[in-house]
Amino acid sequence: MPVCELCGKKVKVVYKCKACGARFCENCGDKNRLLCDDCIEYEEGAQGKYRLEQDIETDND
Ligand SMILES: [Zn+2]
Ligand SMILES: [Zn+2]
């Protein structure tokens, strides 16, 4: 029986993460995208790093 590398449980089916190569069960990732939870978090974290911080200085004399 394959073992999920994320939760360490023996499961019927594991999927191989296309990003990190970890074998994960259906509870530990997205089998449609072939991404484990770690990589999903990483991807979503990277995408969410847009910051709209602007220092607008106005010189009104
Ligand atoms: Zn798992
Ligand atoms: Zn992964």
Q: Which domain holds residue 25?
A: 15-47
Q: Tell me the three state secondary structure of residue 29.
A: strand
What spacing in Å lies between the alpha carbon of 44 and ligand 2's midpoint?
Answer: 13
DSSP, res 54: -
Instruction: Judge whether 30 and 39 are in contact, CB under 8 Å.
Output: no
The answer as to whether 52 is a domain residue is: no
* pLDDT digits 0-9 by tens, 10-53: 999 999 999 999 999 999 999 999 999 999 998 878 765 555 55
CA distance 41 to 4: 18
If one counts the domains in the chain, the total is 1
Partnered with residue 35 across adjacent β-strands are: 30
pLDDT at 8: 98
What spacing in Å lies between the alpha carbon of 57 and ligand 2's midpoint?
Answer: 43
- The predicted model scores a pTM of 0.71
The answer as to whether 10 is a domain residue is: no
Neighbours of ion ligand 2 (CB under 5 A): 17, 19-20, 22, 36, 39
What spacing in Å lies between the alpha carbon of 3 and ligand 1's midpoint?
Answer: 8
**Counting ligands in written order, which one lies closest to the CA of residue 37?**
2
